[in-house]
Amino acid sequence: MTKRHSSARGGNVATNRSAGFRYELLDRFECGIVLVGSEVKSLRTGGAQLKDSYAVISDGELWLHGVHIPPYAPAARDNHDPERPRKLLLHRYELERIAVRVKERGLTLVPTRIYFAGNRAKVEIALARGKAAHDKREAIREREMRRDIERGLREARR
């Protein structure tokens, strides 16, 4: 597992909350991301969306698809394409290890969050296995039970 960073200055920009519901997240990796200037400024203002995004390994490189980074208004004509594929940066040995696991076991790569570590934008991707419908129902049931217990404890304290 790779190191995790959280910047006090930047913090989380976007999280993929549906990833934990749709997939069983197995292993997480921190990746750099290649961005143009207007994308970085747009990320700093927030508003990126990871909901239907995924990562793919093609020609020995890792690419992020489906991430929406809104145009940065002050950039006007020099703006970026909000839906373009973006290259992710990862050590070669990590990329090879991921590629083997994705090929052999039928796993997929799902971005879980975008954040700043210092001045650099980072993407956390997770090796994930799709959940079956009954697993999703079980997750909903557990979440509702937790809420009921917390509600009961709050009422008991009053």
Residue 8 has pLDDT above 70, yes or no: no
Question: Is residue 78 assigned to a domain?
Answer: yes
Question: Is residue 138 assigned to a domain?
Answer: no
Question: Is residue 5 assigned to a domain?
Answer: no
Outline where 5-91 has alpha helix (H): 17-22, 37-45
Tens of pLDDT, residues 63-111: 989 888 888 877 777 777 678 888 999 999 989 888 888 887 778 889 9
- Give the predicted TM-score (pTM) of the model: 0.72
Question: Is residue 117 assigned to a domain?
Answer: yes
Residue 9 has pLDDT above 50, yes or no: no
The backbone torsions φ and ψ at residue 119, rounded to the nearest 5 degrees and listed phi first, read -95, 0
Question: Is residue 150 assigned to a domain?
Answer: no
Question: Is residue 36 assigned to a domain?
Answer: yes
Question: Is residue 141 assigned to a domain?
Answer: no
Average pLDDT over all residues of the chain: 82
Provide the CATH number for the domain around residue 81.
2.40.280.10
- Domain count within the chain: 1
Question: Is residue 158 assigned to a domain?
Answer: no
d(CA 109, CA 66): 12
